[in-house]
Structure 1
Amino acid sequence: MNDSAAPDLPPAERWRAEAARLGASPHHPPNHAVRNALAVVILLVATAVVVDFARRPALDWEVVWKYLFDPTVMTGIRNTLLLTVLSMALALVLSVVLANMRLSGNPLLRAIAGVYVWLFRSIPLLVLLILWFNIAIIYPRIALGIPFGPEWWATDTRNVVSGFWAAVLAFGLQQAAYTSEIIRASLLAIPTGQREAAAALGMTKVRTFFRIIFPQAMRIAVPPISNDTINLLKATSLAAFIAVPDLLYTVQTIYNRTYQIIPLLLVATIWYTVFVSLLSYGQYHLERALRRDRVGRIL
């Protein structure tokens, strides 16, 4: 810009004059009137839809409030939460092992983990659930002992793998296949230079993994794993197909007796919404705790 053309003007005025000389149009704040009007219309329509839905006689809110804290429903809630916690705990432990096997230098370990992930991602969850529920048909007895030798302990499979534990195994083993890929990708996202620096400091591979690599990988893995936990919570409703008394099964039991299908399904919907909201809230605070400026506090 030629400052000698207007030496007496303030810098801001000189820039505007130069911009006008070059043909640049002045910046005007955008007019959001149309956008704001559209947002108001959408809000009004959404409100009208929600109010109309809530006023439908089929919902029968008196029945909803009657059964919302019913002891049978509370038992179903307890089983749903227990299914979610046990299945996700199994999935997390197994997924860390599988992810490290996939990253191992041993081709046999990589192949075993790869086949596991391929197999459990290929089988639909409902099919896997029914298979585990009927595992006693394939293995009538469970025994511990020396292969092809004496048995130290044996029992019928049905005494060990009940419907509840069949659901835990089905949910946990399949979720491990998905979660292991999340953890593997998170581990690969950590620069190799950090491993080399830890080795230069004399740290063992195990110590390097748990003190340097794994905490950083978790910051990457927490959001998708949290989403998987929410999906797993909702997927536990499939346990109703094998008569596990979870939340959905208990409300089905009630409406099969009272024929009040919609109000009881609304009860289940309310509770699932509450738990998903709590998990989302916990995810938000967990992500904040794992931010880069707080890593030192959690290590």
Structure 2
Amino acid sequence: MTEPPGTAVSLTEPPPPTDVPSKPLTAQRVLPLRRPGRWIATAVVLVLAAQFVHGLATNPFYQWDRFGYWFLRPTILDGLLITLEVTAYSAVLGLLGGILLALARLSRSPVLRAVSWTYVWALRSIPLIVVLLFLYNFSALYKTLSVGVPFGPAFFSFDESKLATDMVIAVIGLSLNEAAYAAEVVRGGILSVDQGQHEAAAALGLPKGYQFRKIVFPQALRSITPNYVNQLIGLIKSSSLVFYVSLLDLFGVAQSMGATYPGDVVPLLLVVTVWYLILTSVVSVVQFYVERYYARGATRSLPPTPLQKLRAGLADLRARIRREAAV
């Protein structure tokens, strides 16, 4: 096409569009990238999961009717109560002992550091069952215990066998073992706090105890909580070893009933398994909310709770249905 003479031609003006979209951009659909490998893997996992559930439900070896009979029997619930008591006492005492050991390990006193390091090294090296059996036979080594001046007169003495009941032995053994692991968890959490926080607290002239309680330890709990809850779950399962010191906890009751009713060994083991799954699941839920509580101020937004995730998923599903219907 030739411009008529005298007509100015603009070199910056774009040429007129030749390809006009049939729909506005907001109405066009964005097609997701096809991922056949993901769909194949999902299908395989679902098939395997369905086969596993089918085997659990239809295999007569599991005797689910006997499982239902034993699940809420008073003897099982009594053993469960003992498991909860032993775990609760040991968790509290073990955490307190771990805090003291961690502070001793971080102190400037070489004696405290050496004693704390030796304790942690020894208790982490000795199997828990050995510790429990040693405490159970402790009265054979020391029939009486006394408090007084070393190599001097004793102020008072008492019979160890009268105080060391099966419950006391189990709690002491688990607490001693738990304190060694909790000490490293607490020490790691304290070391994770930025050094600037210590320096800022010291610059304000705050007492050492106040610095630890109000500044250092609350921040360290963000790192301590998930690690110690992991230890707590291990403690719940380790409590099954108290059966070997004649304390009939949940596992001990199942073992005793299995010896009395040999045909119900598998259902009793399933009862124990399900109860341990319930206990660890409850601890995991508590862990989530504790971590969420101590995450305040450290993250821009708190992680959503399971109920909030469900509501968001339902809202997203409704919005997707509306978009499909509009198209």
TM bracket, shorter-chain basis? 0.7 to 0.9
Instruction: Report the alpha carbon displacement of residue 69 of structure 1 after superposing the two structures with TM.
Output: 0.9
Q: 1:8 to 1:91 in 2, by over 3 A?
A: farther
Q: Which residue of 1 aligns with 2:146?
A: 143
Q: Which residue of 1 aligns with 2:323?
A: none
Q: Distance in 2 between matches of 1:107 and 1:139?
A: 31
Q: Which residue of 1 aligns with 2:87?
A: 84
SS of 1:177's equivalent?
helix
Q: Which residue of 1 aligns with 2:293?
A: 289
TM-score using structure 1 length: 0.86
**Which has the higher Rg, Structure 1 or Structure 2?**
2
Amino acid at match of 2:270: L
SS of 1:293's equivalent?
coil
Q: Which residue of 2 aligns with 1:17?
A: none
Q: Distance in 1 between matches of 2:297 and 2:39?
A: 37
Which of 261, 267, 278 is 2:265 aligned to?
Answer: 261
Q: Which residue of 2 aligns with 1:115?
A: 118
- Work out the number of aligned pairs and report it: 274
Which is worse superposed, 136-145 or 67-76? 136-145
Is residue 49 of structure 1 aligned with residue 59 of structure 2?
no
Structure 1 unaligned runs (5+)?
1-5, 10-27
Is residue 199 of structure 1 aligned with residue 202 of structure 2?
yes
Q: Which residue of 2 aligns with 1:166?
A: 169
Q: CA RMSD in A?
A: 2.1
SS of 2:147's equivalent?
strand
Question: In the TM superposition, what whole-angstrom CA distance separates every residue of 1:194-240 from its partner, at most 9, and x where no partner exists?
Answer: 12211221210110110100100011110010010011001101111
Amino acid at match of 2:160: T
Contact persistence 1:133–1:162 (CA under 8 A): no
Q: Which residue of 2 aligns with 1:100?
A: 103
Which is worse superposed, 86-95 or 140-149? 140-149
Is residue 131 of structure 1 aligned with residue 137 of structure 2?
no
SS of 1:234's equivalent?
helix
SS of 2:209's equivalent?
helix
Amino acid at match of 2:243: A
User: What is the percentage of aligned positions where both structures have the same residue?
Assistant: 35
Q: Which residue of 1 aligns with 2:244?
A: 241
Is residue 67 of structure 1 aligned with residue 57 of structure 2?
no
Q: Which residue of 1 aligns with 2:37?
A: 34
TM-score using structure 2 length: 0.79
Q: Which residue of 2 aligns with 1:12?
A: none
Instruction: Report the alpha carbon displacement of residue 294 of structure 1 after superposing the two structures with TM.
Output: 7.7
Amino acid at match of 1:270: V
Is residue 280 of structure 1 aligned with residue 278 of structure 2?
no
Instruction: Report the alpha carbon displacement of residue 151 of structure 1 after superposing the two structures with TM.
Output: 4.1
SS of 2:157's equivalent?
strand
Question: In the TM superposition, what whole-angstrom CA distance separates every residue of 1:111-152 from its partner, at most 9, and x where no partner exists?
Answer: 110001100011011111111111111211122344455544
Q: 1:34 to 1:133 in 2, by over 3 A?
A: same
Is residue 183 of structure 1 aligned with residue 186 of structure 2?
yes
Instruction: Report the alpha carbon displacement of residue 168 of structure 1 after superposing the two structures with TM.
Output: 1.1
